[in-house]
Chain A
Amino acid sequence: MEHHHLNLVHNIPFFSIFFAMFCGIITPLIKNGRVARYVHGTMVAIVGVLSAVLLVNVVQNGEAFTFMMGHFPAPWGNELRIGPLEALLAVLISVVMFLTITAGSEQLFKEIVPEKQNFYFIMLNATFGAMLAMTYTNDLFTAYVFIEILTIASCTLILARGTKQAIVGTTHYLVFGCVGSGLFLLGVCILYGITGHLLFPQIKETIAMLMTTGEFHFPLMFVVTLMFVGLGIKSALFPFHSALPTAYGSTMTTSNGILSGLVLKAYIILAIKLCLEVFTLETLVELKIADIMFVLGVLGMVMGSVYAVHEGRMKRMLAYSSVAQIGYIFMGIGLGSVAGMIATIFHVFAHAATKSMLFICCGSFIEDADGKEQLENLKGAAHRNPLAGIAFTVGALSMIGVPLFAGFISKLYFAIAAIEMTGMRMVLVLGALAISMILNAMYFLPSVIAIWSKPKDEFKKTQISPLFAVAMVLFIVVNFVLGIGYRPIVEVMEMGIELMQMVL
């Protein structure tokens, strides 16, 4: 399966990461925030197009390949690994990043003081590069380093507005982030101690051997728990979610969209890669870690929504809704089957595309209401800004799981994955799906009704900038593409998972 011949397409992953980081480095020289935005936008667009080329290429060839970083071959050197799934994820990250920043940029320029605007784009470039690196890497320690880069970059995204609340929110988020990455680091070190390797395929081989001999059973269980709890804390899995609402409530719209849509997903992408490429699903089931993730996931699905129902402030409500969606994702991983994995990955896509759109709409409503974010202050917001109103409605319907929208398909796949299971698990998944769909409707429908209800007093239409309009329409299109044309996407995922499970 390994191809080391010179092929330009094979250089795309390394180039994408390098290009993002390079743009981050040159951005401090650009004093003007708007120019920095163009540099960032162009970079993301180029990476997006290149990733699409890469995706078409790997899907046509039905292959996965490794890219050697530096001059040392495996098992000593550092590697990237690219298959259909990684390429598809890179496309997703680029598209959501591009649309979120395009839609939110006008607001962004209002919220950050002019002399600091270019710094925001440095951090966006670093975030983007780190997310790509976590998607492509084939090396455990590289993954850890990029986890830390992503943590710092995302903290500065929360901090960008510089208000008192934002500083408190960032500190809270940073402490949780440090706890998570500390656990992950200890897990990596012990795993390195047990297996002697840092590259995924070599670790996988050693673990398979250890599982057959039964040696190091307890240390392995300890390591896997450390790493997945670490990633769970970083991706705001219930009950480690408490930093999320404070941080999201205090920060700016674009940061909300990027953090909830993509940054949380980057840790999950890493968790999925670890499941398929390092620990295999069978091992996770045998070590009982799958059960822990399953239980926490189901609890998160229900509890996240319960918190959201009780929350009157819209941004926090969306934050709690993210906690519930992360619950879905971990529940899917916890099923320990390929079908569960497909549902999980599809949910990553659906949630990334939907939640960023919801946050951008929510930010624009709050801006129109002079910064008040209680639901009663947002009455009639959709009449002021109809496009954001339509997009919010699409997003809400997708979150609830109405057919034709992205969210429905992932719930459908979760249900299919559940039916493959037997006994308690099937009942639990289907029950949790039903309860959480009802709860989703309980908090999304009132907000949709509120924004479309007649406003009490005179209002003036919001000036919709063309960039916002184009990005919003594209967001809605992406949602329908995921909701209607999902078959080819799922086929690529299936192919990617199959290749990841094979030993390269």
Chain B
Amino acid sequence: MSQLLTNYYEAASVILFGIGFMNLLLQNNLIKKFIGLNIMDTATYLFLAAKGYVFGRIAPILTNGIIDAEYYINPIPAGLVLTGIVVSVSVTAFSLALVLRLYKHYGTLNMDEILRMVREEEGE
């Protein structure tokens, strides 16, 4: 329990990940589903950002000539977060474009209803 409290950023991000994950899996509304995807991705960025930050240190930009690594935080997680954001933006854009076309064809955002209509069409 005390470990959870000291690592509260990580604990929060895993909880957020769970919320996003369940939304992505269980929501029927497609827009909400992909919002869940975004919550899930953002949770991992929080995790990475929390891992990369060391309390009391500064960003690794040389301004006062100190080249001792002990003085700076780890910049790699920030780079990973940036890459991750690019990835999640493109996946979101693609999925929203898909949702748009589904809505044009079926007139609803409810996945269950769409699947029911597909089954009815196949049955005919």
> Which residues of A are interface residues toward B (Cβ below 8 A)?
76, 141, 144-145, 148, 151-152, 155-156, 159, 164-165, 167-168, 170-171, 174-175, 178-179, 182-183, 185-186, 189-190, 192-193, 198
- With A and B bound together, what is the CA distance between A151 and B88 in angstroms? 12
Asked if B21 and A171 make an inter-chain contact with CB atoms under 8 angstroms apart, the answer reads no
> Chain B CB within 10 Å — which of A159, A168, A170, A198 has the most?
A168
A-B interface contact total, Cβ < 8 Å: 81
Given contact pairs A178-B37, A179-B25, A189-B44, A171 touches B30 in the complex (Cβ within 8 A): yes
In the complex, A159→B30 CA distance in Å? Answer: 17
Chain B 34-56 per-residue mask, 1 if CB under 8 angstroms from chain A, else 0: 00010011011001100100000
- Quick one: which of B21, B80, B95 contacts A174, CB cutoff 8 A? B95
Known: A179-B25, A182-B37. A192 touches B98 (CB 8 A): no
Which residues does chain A contribute within 8 Å of B47, judged by CB atoms?
186, 189-190, 193
As a 0/1 sequence over residues 63 to 100 of chain B, the CB contacts with chain A under 8 angstroms (1 = contact) are 00000000000001100100110010011001100110
Known: A167-B102, A174-B95. A182 touches B21 (CB 8 A): yes
Q: Which of B24, B33, B77, B118 contacts A168 (CB 8 A)?
A: B118
Do B114 and A168 touch (CB < 8 A)? yes
Which residues in A have their C-beta under 8 angstroms from that of B30?
171
A502 CB, nearest partner CB in chain B, Å:
27
User: How many Å lie between the Cα of A151 and that of B47 in the bound state?
Assistant: 23
The answer for the CA separation of A189 and B37 in the assembled complex, in Å, is 17
Q: What residue in chain A is nearest B106 (Cβ atoms)?
A: A164
Q: Smallest Cβ distance from A59 to chain B, in angstroms?
A: 35
Contact yes or no, B99 A189, CB < 8 A:
no
B24, A182: Cβ atoms under 8 Å? yes
Instruction: Identify the 5 closest CB pairs spanning chains A and B, nearest first.
Output: A148-B87, A164-B105, A193-B51, A182-B40, A189-B47
Residues A189 and B48 in contact, CB atoms below 8 Å apart: yes
**In this complex, what residue of A is CB-closest to B74?**
A196
A76 CA / B74 CA spacing, docked (Å): 11
Closest Cβ–Cβ distance, residue A73 to chain B (whole Å): 15
Asked whether A175 lies within 8 Å of B33 as measured between CB atoms, the reply is: yes
State the Cβ distance, B23 to closest chain A Cβ, in Å: 11
- Are B17's CB and A186's CB within 8 A? yes
B24: chain A residues at CB < 8 Å are 175, 178-179, 182
Interface pair B21/A168, CB less than 8 Å apart: no
Asked whether, in the complex, the Cβ of A148 is within 8 Å of the Cβ of B101, the reply is no
Report the bound CA distance from A190 to B20 in whole Å: 17
Chain B residues at the A interface, C-beta cutoff of 8 Å:
10, 14, 17, 20-21, 24-25, 30, 33, 37, 40-41, 43-44, 47-48, 51, 76-77, 80, 83-84, 87, 90-91, 94-95, 98-99, 101-102, 105-106, 111, 114-115, 118, 121
Q: What's the nearest-Cβ distance from chain A to residue B77, in Å?
A: 8
Name the contact of A192 in the complex, choosing from B51, B87, B95 (C-beta under 8 A): B51
Closest to A183 in B: B21
Known: A155-B94, A171-B98, A193-B51. A186 touches B37 (CB 8 A): no
Nearest chain B CB to A117 CB, angstrom units = 19
CB pair B87 A171 closer than 8 Å: no
Chain B nearest CB: distance from A70 CB in Å? Answer: 12
- How far apart sit A164 and B37, CA to CA, in the bound complex (Å)? 24
- Pair B83/A141 contact, Cβ less than 8 Å: yes
**Can you report 16 residue pairs joining A to B where beta carbons are below 8 Å apart?**
A76-B76, A144-B87, A145-B87, A152-B94, A167-B98, A168-B114, A171-B98, A174-B95, A174-B98, A175-B24, A178-B24, A182-B17, A182-B20, A182-B21, A182-B40, A189-B48
Report the nearest B residue to A249, measured CB to CB.
B122
Starting from the known contacts A168-B115, A179-B24, A189-B48, 9 additional A-B residue pairs (CB-CB under 8 Å) come to A148-B91, A152-B94, A165-B118, A171-B95, A175-B33, A182-B41, A185-B84, A186-B43, A190-B47
- Chain B proximity of A169: nearest CB distance (Å): 9
Residue of B nearest to A250 (CB): B118
Q: How far is the CA of A164 from the CA of B122 in the complex (A)?
A: 12
Residues on the B chain within 8 Å of A185, using CB: 41, 44, 84
Q: Flag if A167 contacts B87 (CB, 8 Å).
A: no
> Please, which residues of chain B bring their CB within 8 A of the CB of A178?
24, 37, 91, 95
A165 and B114 alpha carbons, distance in the complex (Å): 10
Minimal beta-carbon separation of B94 from chain A (angstroms): 6
* Known A141-B83, A148-B87, A189-B47: A170·B37 in contact at CB below 8 Å: no
